[in-house]
Amino acid sequence: MSQIFNRSANQIARFSLVGGALAVGLVAWLGLLLMRSDFVTGANANVTQPVQFSHAHHVGGLGIDCRYCHTTVDSARFANIPPTKTCMNCHSQIWLTSSYLEPVRESFRTGQSLVWNRVHDLPDFVYFNHSVHVKKGVGCETCHGRIDQMAGIYQASSLQMEWCITCHRAPEQFLRPREAVYQMGYHPAGDQLTIGRDLVKKYDVKSLTSCSTCHR
């Protein structure tokens, strides 16, 4: 053959052209999924803590109410992480010798705070207020998942804006009666939507989607 290309060139050329176009589309779609994937959001990733505190044991097992430790969840923006004192209320009586708890006892002895790793970490420019959500009937479980089944703690939701917005736009899909807010494994007595709509009226829930609702 004395011409520049041989027969196969045609197939190669056409395939590379079409294939290239398809590849670009595929990568774009993967990118969209990647942005929402757990390793970007950090969801469902176990967070190691100085003390391997088990919510499964304390909440699921012993049935301690959320508010026993997270005291300000219904009164302030911040749900509060309990001071060492709170742990010692019980653990000055029980599991006195457990090596697990040595960091706690040490903290109490030395007055040096325990240093926990943050699990639910919103960006600085997002201003979230626990108390209002609790007041309006958003269950702990709705965002934090089945804490009562978490031996090790992890973030149950993506915490991305689109995730927040889903509820802010349609609260009726998620609301529960105030008395059930701290309940784990809650099941609506009946159709969630009808119950939700009633609660929206009852609690005067505004679906706020203004930017300054969360960003200042």
Partner 1 sequence: MRDIDLSAIRARLAKQDGTGQTGPAFWRSLDEVAETPEFAAMLHREFPEGASEFTDPAGRRDFLRLMGASIALAGAAACTRQPTEHIVPYVKAPEDLVPGKPLFFATAMPFAGTAVPVLVESHMGRPTKIEPNPEHPFTHGGTDLFAQASVLELYDPDRSQTVMGKGEIRPWSELSLALTSAGAGQKGAGGGGLRILSGAVTSPTLAAQIQGLLTAMPQAKWIQYEAIGNDNARAGSKLAFGDYLEPVYRLDQADVILSLDADLLDAGAGKLRYARDFATRRQVVPGQTAMNRLYVAESSPSNTGSKSDHRLSLKAREIPALAGAIAAGLGVAGAAGQAPASATAFATEVVKDLQAHRGRALVVAGERQPAAVHALAHAMNAALGSVGTTVVYTQTPQANPGEGFAGLRDLVNEMNAGTVAVLVILGANPVFTAPSDLKFASAMGKVPLSVHLGLHRDETAAHSQWHVPETHYLETWSDARTGDGTVTVCQPLIEPMYECRSAHELVAALSGEIKTPLEIVQGFWKANWDGRSASAGAGGAFGKLTDTTGVDFATFEKFWRRVLHDGFVPGTAFAPKPVALAAGAVAAAPAAAAVSPASSGVVPNSSDTSVGGLEVTFHADPSVYDGRFANNGWLQELPKPFDKVCWDNVAYISPRTAEQLGVGERKPVVYGVEVYLANLTVNGHTLQVPLWIMPGQPDGSIALHLGYGRTHAGRIGNGLGYNANFFRYSSTPWVLQGASLTLLDQIYNVACTQGHFQMENRALIRVGTRTQFEHDPTFAQHMAHVPKPDESMYAPWKYEGHAWGMAIDLNSCNGCNACVVACVAENNIPVVGKLQVMKGREMHWLRIDRYWEGSPDAPSVHFQPVACQQCENAPCEVVCPVGATVHSDEGLNDMVYNRCVGTRYCSHNCPYKVRRFNFLLYADWDTPTLKMQRNPDVTVRSRGVMEKCTYCVQRINTARQQAKIEDRKIKDGEIVTACEAACPTQAIVFGDLNDKNSRVAKAHADPRSYGLLAELNTRPRTTYLAAVRNPNTALTPEPAGPATGGHH
Partner 2 sequence: MADTLLYGLMAEFTSTDALVSAAERVHQEGYTRIDALTPIPVHGLAEAMGYDDRRIQKMILAGGLFGCAAGLGLQLHVNLIGWNINIGGVYLSGYPLNVGGRPLVSLPAFIIPTFELTILFAALTAVIGTLALCGFPEPYHPVFNVKRFRERGSTDGMFLCVEAEDPKFDAAKTRDFLKGLGARGVYDVEP
Partner 3 sequence: MSSPNPSPPPTIPVLGPGHNYASITDKISDIVLQFRAPIRWFLGFVVGFTLLQGLLLAIYMLLFKGVGVWGINIPVGWGFDIINFVWWIGIGHAGTLISAILLLFRQQWRTSINRAAEAMTLFAVACALLFPIFHTGRPWLAAYWLLPYPNTMGVWPQFRSPLIWDVFAVSTYGTVSALFWFTGLIPDLATMRDRARTRVGQVIYGALALGWRGSARHWQIYETAYLILAGLSTPLVLSVHTVVSFDFAVSLLPGWHATIFPPYFVAGAIYSGFAMVLTLLIPMRSIYGLQDMITLRHLENMAKIMLVTGLIVFYGYMMEAFFAWYSANEFEKYMIYNRTTGPYWYMYWTLIFCNGFVPQLLWFKRIRLNVGILFLISIIVNIGMWLERYVIIVTSLHRDFLPSSWGMYQGSRYDWSFYLGTMGLFLTLFYLFIRVLPMIAMFEMRMLLPGGGNTPKDSH
Binding positions for partner 3, rule: CB under 8 A = 4-5, 10, 13, 32, 35-36, 158, 160-162, 165
* 96 lies in the site for partner 2, by CB under 8 A: no
Partners of 154 in the β-ladder: 46
The DSSP 8-state label assigned to residue 88 in this structure reads: H
Element (H, E) at 9: helix 8-35
**The residue type at 116:** W
Q: Is 14 in the site for partner 1 (CB under 8 A)?
A: no
115 belongs to the binding site for partner 2 (CB under 8 A): no
To 5 degrees, how large is the angle CA 122–CA 161–CA 166?
A: 130
Q: How many CB atoms lie within 10 A of CB 55?
A: 21
Tokens 């509060």 — which residue? 80
Q: Is 34 in the site for partner 1 (CB under 8 A)?
A: yes
Q: What span, in angstroms and rounded, lies between the C-alpha atoms of 112 and 106?
A: 8
160 binds partner 1 (CB under 8 A): yes
Site residues for partner 1, 47-106, by CB under 8 A, read: 47, 72, 74-78, 80-85
**Counting contacts by CB under 8 A, is residue 212 touching partner 2?**
no
Q: How far is CA 9 from CA 1, 14, 161, in A?
A: 13, 9, 49
Judged by the rule CB under 8 A, the positions of this chain that interact with partner 2 are 1-10, 13-14, 17, 32-33, 36, 162, 165-166, 169-170, 209, 211
Judged by the rule CB under 8 A, the positions of this chain that interact with partner 1 are 27, 31, 34-35, 39-42, 45, 47, 72, 74-78, 80-85, 107-108, 111-118, 121-127, 129, 131-132, 135-136, 160-161, 206, 208, 210-213, 215-216
